[in-house]
Structures are given as structure tokens and as C-alpha cells.
Amino acid sequence: MKLLNSWLMASAISTVAARPWPRAANTTSTYFFTFGNSYTQTGFSTTGEQPSPSNPMGNPALGTGTTTGGENWVGYLTTAQNASLVLSYNLAVGGASIDNSLVQGSTDVDLASQVDIFDETYSSKPASAPWSAENSVFGFWIGINERNPSETGPVLTVELSIGNAFYNTDADTFTPQLIARLASLVERIYSAGGRKFLFLNVPPTSRSPMFIDQGNATVEQHAAYLAVYNRNLEAMVDGFKTNHTDSVLSIVAVLVVVSIVVSLRRRVFLC
């Protein structure tokens, strides 16, 4: 969590270069746009109450709208681990894949659609969200999604659905397609003026009970697939940095973000 915290703080620091601990003013607010699936969603609606200093999550109330109830990493970073005022615009939707035409998630609002919504709503830097390259951070956590509940019965099980892909596609050929699609979406945010990007990688879902129950071969095959995905994600981020030297991109390995993983494993993988 330290990593994430210091990363969001970096956004504040760069706008108040001389003051490493900007406590006083609210001139350092960070516009935090997030995209992803159930790990990230807070039920935010672009047409509801917008984030403001007195209500940094906008809507719904902090601690509601998440997949499992309570706060998730977005709420935590916005309101608890923040080094300055953070305003959160969270476009993530549970069940999302990167692009339904590549891997079908369990929502129409895949990551590509979330970026469409960003384009339609916030890319023009409206008066309600006057973000700039310096004061905004774009967070992506994708690569995991829910199986369609109709396939699994009443119990919500979570699987890595690069994942749904892992059963029937080859990691070495397919994950580059997924990551290329992700890169194209990041490129669109860049075109709109975003320069600071944060990526959370895919946590070790291979060791979740759902996969363990299917035996070691599945666990191993899945872990291998996941490793390829995460490697491709890292390569994409490195490539993007090389081609966009005015940008800051950072990957947070979810493995080291212990509090997130613990709470996710307890609340999501086991439910």
C-alpha cells in the first residue's frame, strides 16, 4: 500500500515541487480516474453527484457500491491513504474484460466501453472535473473477471478470465493481443492529455480455491498463463514509456500490496 500511496503523492509533489508534504492548501488535488472490474468498481455513476472536496468519491457513499461491500483500494487511496485531496472518478464495472470481442466478460461495459465513457464525459476537462496532465492519475486494474453467473450457478465465483481465455487459447499468442488492446486504450487517454498511469497487475488467482479444486495441472497451467500476461503488461508499460517520454507509468505488483490481496482473497476469491 505504501507503493500506491507514494505514487499518488508523486502527483501532488510534482505540482508543488518545493513542498514535499503539501498539507495546507487544496491546490494539490489529484483527479483520480480508474478503470477495471469488480476489484475496482464502486458503483460510481457519471450522471450522479460529482466528486468534490466535501465528497471525494462523488457517488455512491464511500464504502458502498463495491462488489463485496466496504471500501476497496480506490476508496482507500482516495480518502485514507491520500497525501492531498484526491477526487475519484471510478468507471470500473464488475465483470469487465478488456474487450468483449477478445474475451467475453459478464458485462457490456468492458474496459473499451469504460474508456468511451471517459471520452464522452471527462476527456474535455469539463468545469466539473478540470483535470490536467499534471494533476491527474489514470489507474487500470484489469485481466481478471467473473464468469457469467448463469454458467456457475448462484455462487459468485471469480476466475481469471484471461482466464476464460486460458482454457482455450495459447498464452504466448493471445495475451499479446489483450495487452495490445489495453495499450490502444491507454493511448486514447494519452491523446486526451493523460500523462500519469498506474497499472495493477494480476494477482495470484491461480492459488484461489476455485483453481486448487481443479487440481495441480490446472493451477500450474493457469499460473503460467498469468505470468505471461503480467510479463506482457510490463513490456507494454516499458514500450509505452519509451515512445511517450513525457509520461509516467508505473506498475504495482499486487503481490506486494498485501492488504489488497488479503482482503481480495478473503472477500472475493472465497465468496
218 binds ligand NAG (CB under 6 A): no
Q: Is 62 in the site for ligand NAG (CB under 6 A)?
A: no
Under 8 Å between Cβ of 93 and 41: yes
- SS3 for 94? coil
| Of residues 54 and 150, the one with the C-beta less far from ligand NAG | 54
- Longest Cα–Cα distance in the chain: 56
Which C-beta is closer to ligand NAG: that of 82 or that of 175? 82
Residue whose CB is less far from ligand NAG, 53 or 153: 53
- Residue choice 56, 65, 105, 143 for contact with ligand NAG (CB under 6 A): 56
- Which residues in 92-195 belong to E strands, given as ranges? 136-141, 145-146, 158-159
**Binding-residue total with ligand NAG (CB under 6 A):** 11
The verdict on 42 binding ligand NAG (CB under 6 A) reads: no
**Shorter beta-carbon distance to ligand NAG: residue 48 or 239:** 48
How does strand 136-141 pair with strand 86-90?
unpaired
The 248-252 sheet, strands edge to edge: 86-90, 30-36, 136-141, 196-200, 248-252
Shortest spacing between CB 28 and ligand NAG, in angstroms: 8
Per 3-state DSSP, the chain is made up of helix, strand and coil in percentages (nearest 5) of 40, 15, 50
Interacting residues of 260 by C-beta distance below 8 A, sequence separation 6+: 1, 73, 200, 203, 254
Q: Which of 4, 9, 29, 65 binds ligand NAG (CB under 6 A)?
A: 29
Residues 74-93 touching ligand NAG, rule: CB under 6 A, are 79, 82-85
Least Cβ distance, residue 58 to ligand NAG (angstroms): 11
Instruction: Supply 202's cell numbers.
Output: 494480476
26 binds ligand NAG (CB under 6 A): yes
**How far apart, in whole angstroms, are the C-alpha atoms of residue 23 and residue 260?**
26
State yes or no: residue 53 binds ligand NAG (CB under 6 A): yes
98 vs 162: CA distance, rounded Å: 9
Contact between 216 and ligand NAG per CB under 6 A: yes
Tell whether residue 157 is a contact of ligand NAG (CB under 6 A): no
User: What residue ranges bind ligand NAG (CB under 6 A)?
Assistant: 26, 29, 53, 56, 79, 82-85, 215-216
